[in-house]
Amino acid sequence: MSAAKKKPARKKKPAAKKQKATRAKAKAKAPSAAATLAASLDLAGEAIIGGRPAAARSGKSFDTINPATGETLTQITRGDTADIDAAVAAARTAFEGPWSQTSPAERKRLMLRFASLIEANASELATIETLEGGKPIEDTANIDVVETINVIRWHAEAADKINDEITPTAPDVVSMVVREAIGVVGCVLPWNFPLMMAAWKLGPILATGNTCVLKPAEQTSLTTIRLAQLAVDAGIPDGVINVVPGFGPEAGEALGRHMDVDAVAFTGSTDTGRRFLHYSAESNLKRVLLECGGKNPFVVMHDADNLDAIADHLATSIYWNGGQNCSSNSRLIVHRSRKDELLALLMEKSREWVVGDPLDPATKIGAMISPDHLAKVLDNIDAGHSEGATCVLGGRQVMQASGGSFVEPTVFDNVAPGTQLATDEVFGPVLSVLEFDQPEDAIRLANDTPYGLAASVFTSDLRTAHLAARAINAGTVTVNTYGEGDVTTPFGGFGLSGFGGRDKSLHAHDQYTELKTVWIDLS
Burial 273-288 (b: 16+ CB within 10 A, else e): bebbbebbeeeeebbb
Give the C-alpha separation, 347 to 317, whole Å.
14
**The one among 99, 114, 154, 191 contacting ligand NAD by CB under 6 A:** 191
Q: Please count the CA atoms within 13 angstroms of the CA of 140 that sit on its side-chain side.
A: 32
Q: Is 326 in the site for ligand NAD (CB under 6 A)?
A: yes
Name the minimum Å distance from CB 148 to ligand NAD. Answer: 14
With binding defined as CB under 6 A, does residue 453 bind ligand NAD?
yes
Q: Are 484 and 491 in contact (CB under 8 A)?
A: yes
Q: In terms of CB distance, is 117 or 251 closer to ligand NAD? A: 251
Determine which helix (DSSP H) or strand (DSSP E) holds 91, and give its type and residue range.
Answer: helix 81-94
Closer residue to ligand NAD, CB minimum distance, 319 or 436? 319
- The least CB distance from residue 246 to ligand NAD, in Å, is 8
Catalytic: 391? no
88, 245 contact by CB (below 8 A): no
How far apart are alpha carbons 209 and 95 in whole angstroms?
Answer: 8
User: In 3-state terms, the chain is what percent helix, strand and coil (to 5)?
Assistant: 40, 20, 35
Q: Select the residue interacting with ligand NAD from 50, 51, 133, 190 (CB under 6 A).
A: 190
Q: Which is nearer to ligand NAD, 191 or 406 (CB)?
A: 191
119 Cβ neighbours under 8 A, 6+ residues apart: 149
Region of 136-144, 222-230, 288-296, 314-322 interacting with ligand NAD (CB under 6 A)? 288-296
Find the catalytic residue in 138, 291, 408, 425: 291
| 126 part of the interface to ligand NAD, by CB under 6 A | no
State which residue, 194 or 394, has the beta carbon closest to ligand NAD: 194
- Give the shortest CB-219-to-ligand NAD separation in angstroms: 7
Q: Is 201 in the site for ligand NAD (CB under 6 A)?
A: no
Pairs from 59-65 (Cβ < 8 Å, separation ≥ 24): 62/218, 62/246, 62/247, 64/132, 64/218, 64/219, 64/220, 64/221, 64/222, 65/219, 65/370
For residues 474-503, which are near ligand NAD according to CB under 6 A?
493, 498
- Name the minimum Å distance from CB 292 to ligand NAD: 5
408 is catalytic: no
C-beta of 67 vs 252, nearer to ligand NAD: 252
Is 268 near ligand NAD (CB under 6 A)?
yes
Between 293 and 312, how does the x/- string for binding to ligand NAD read (CB under 6 A)?
A: xx------------------
Should residue 292 be labelled a site residue for ligand NAD when binding is judged by CB under 6 A?
yes
Cα gap 209→500, rounded to integer Å: 20
Contacts with ligand NAD, 169-188, as mask; x by CB under 6 A: -------------------x
Residue of 405, 402, 401 lying closest to 368 (CA atoms): 405
Q: Which one among 138, 291, 360, 435 touches ligand NAD, defined by CB under 6 A?
A: 291
**CA quadruple 9, 12, 15, 16: dihedral sign:** positive
**In whole angstroms, how close is the CB of 309 to ligand NAD at the nearest point?**
26
Contact of 54 with 79, CB cutoff 8 Å: no
Q: Does residue 249 interact with ligand NAD by CB under 6 A?
A: yes
Binds ligand NAD by CB under 6 A, chosen from 425, 443, 445, 473: 425
Kindly give the interhelix angle for 104-120 and 194-207, rounded to the nearest 10 degrees.
Answer: 160
Specify the 3-state DSSP secondary structure of 498.
strand
215 binds ligand NAD (CB under 6 A): yes
Single residue of 51, 79, 252, 404 touching ligand NAD by CB under 6 A:
252
Q: Closest approach of Cβ 256 to ligand NAD, in Å? A: 5
Given 326, 408, 425, 435, which residue is catalytic? 326
Residues in contact with ligand NAD, counted by CB under 6 A, come to a total of 31
Q: How far is the CB of 305 from ligand NAD (least distance, A)?
A: 30
SS3 call for 515: strand
**CA nearest neighbour of 439 among 421, 422, 452, 457:** 457
Stretch that binds ligand NAD, among 68-76, 267-275, 309-317, 340-348 (CB under 6 A): 267-275
Q: Which of 223, 267, 296, 329 lies at the binding interface for ligand NAD (CB under 6 A)?
A: 267
Name the pairing type of β-strands 498-499 and 287-291. antiparallel
CA distances from 113 to 105, 152, 234, 508 (A): 13, 10, 6, 21
The answer to whether the Cα torsion of 502, 503, 507, 513 is positive or negative is positive
Q: Which of 107, 135, 275, 338 binds ligand NAD (CB under 6 A)?
A: 275
Helix runs in 136-291, H state only? 137-139, 145-158, 194-207, 222-233, 253-257, 270-281
Between 123 and 267, CB nearer to ligand NAD: 267
Residue selected from 102, 127, 192, 316 as contacting ligand NAD according to rule CB under 6 A: 192
Q: What is the SS3 assignment for 387?
A: coil
Q: Which stretch binds ligand NAD (CB under 6 A): 105-113, 166-174, 242-250, 509-517?
A: 242-250
For position 226 contacting ligand NAD by CB under 6 A, the verdict is no
> What letter would DSSP give residue 323?
G
Residue 259 CB contacts under 8 Å (≥ 6 apart), including other chains:
283, 284
Catalytic sites, residue numbers: 291, 326
Q: Can you give the binding site for ligand NAD, defined by CB under 6 A?
A: 188-193, 197, 215, 217-218, 247-249, 252-253, 256, 267-269, 272, 275, 291-294, 326, 425, 427, 453, 493, 498
